[in-house]
Amino acid sequence: MIEMKEIVKHYGKGDNVTEALKGISLRIENGEFTAITGHSGCGKSTLLNILGGMDRQTKGEYFCDGEDVSGMSERELAKFRNSHIGFVFQAFHLAGELTAAENVALPLGYAGVGAKERKERAKVLLDRVGLAEKYKAYPAKLSGGEMQRVAIARALANHPRILLADEPTGNLDHENGEKIMALLRELNKEGMTVVMVTHDLELAAMADRCIHMADGSIIAQKN
């Protein structure tokens, strides 16, 4: 379970300070599918980055499955990220010089998995996202929807319990966006906690719960 209490995030200092989050309190149960919506600049990515241990809050408490994430050292935080969190971005962030399979295998390499097992697991993961036949394809030869599938397969490589997706359908047309949403839904049905930021209210309505943010605060929640 994710539990945040009065999370505040400031960027910059003095006169230049931006209050990106102004006291966010939030509870997400394991296995829940939560959508976060709100206008550009309201703090969605900031919140997701703190959830994923990519950034730290200025004030407030963050517990994940009872662990005090705010109290972690940099090393502990990196371990938390690598063992619990999968991240998916709007812009895919695939390495252009690597094949689909090599992109998926990349985090396995960092985790010390041997070459043969990396190959096998990349295959299984690409199969899982419906891209088994694109194993050897380079990103330039893939459609946007396919690139996002590769990015999701990569995010799943280390068996995260929580998948965080920051506008994963933002660069896709509506049809491909729905397909990505369906894939996230399937992963969620298999037990994964999913938190997805989206501008698309139609997609957000497909989540278990929708959190609406404005100007650094949660202003509404719908189940």
Ligand X SMILES: Nc1ncnc2c1ncn2[C@@H]1O[C@H](COP(=O)(O)OP(=O)(O)O)[C@@H](O)[C@H]1O
| Min dist. Cβ of residue 45 to Mg ion (A) | 3
How many whole angstroms separate alpha carbon 25 and alpha carbon 4? 5
How many whole angstroms separate alpha carbon 51 and alpha carbon 92? 19
- The structure tokens 């929580």 sit at 162
Q: Is 45 in the site for Mg ion (CB under 5 A)?
A: yes
For Mg ion, which stretch binds (CB under 5 A), given 10-18, 37-45, 60-68, 73-81? 37-45
* Amino acid at position 129, single letter: V
Toward ligand X, which CB reaches closer, 150 or 213?
A: 213
Any idea how long the chain is? Answer: 223
Q: Tokens for 39, please give them.
A: 């206008």
Q: Check residue 31 and report its DSSP letter.
A: T
Toward ligand X, which CB reaches closer, 59 or 189?
A: 59
The item of Mg ion, ligand X, none sharing an interface with residue 43, based on CB under 5 to 8 Å by kind, is: ligand X
The item of Mg ion, ligand X, none sharing an interface with residue 11, based on CB under 5 to 8 Å by kind, is: ligand X
Using CB under 6 A as the binding rule, the residues of this chain from 203 to 222 that contact ligand X are none
Q: Is 199 helix (H, G, I), strand (E, B) or coil?
A: coil
Using CB under 6 A as the binding rule, the residues of this chain from 37 to 96 that contact ligand X are 38, 40-46
| Min dist. Cβ of residue 96 to Mg ion (A) | 23
Task: State the pairing for strand pair 67-68/193-197.
Answer: unpaired
| Min dist. Cβ of residue 119 to ligand X (A) | 36
| Min dist. Cβ of residue 167 to ligand X (A) | 8
x/- map, 17-36, ligand X, by CB under 6 A? -x-x----------------
| Min dist. Cβ of residue 201 to ligand X (A) | 15
Q: Tokens for 191, please give them.
A: 């037990």
How many whole angstroms separate alpha carbon 181 and alpha carbon 33? 11
Q: Tokens for 215, please give them.
A: 């100007």
DSSP, residue by residue, 55-118 = S--SEEEEEETTEEGGG--HHHHHHHHHHHEEEEETT----TTS-HHHHHHHHHHHTT--HHHH
Contacting positions for Mg ion (CB under 5 A): 45
Contacting positions for ligand X (CB under 6 A): 11-12, 18, 20, 38, 40-46
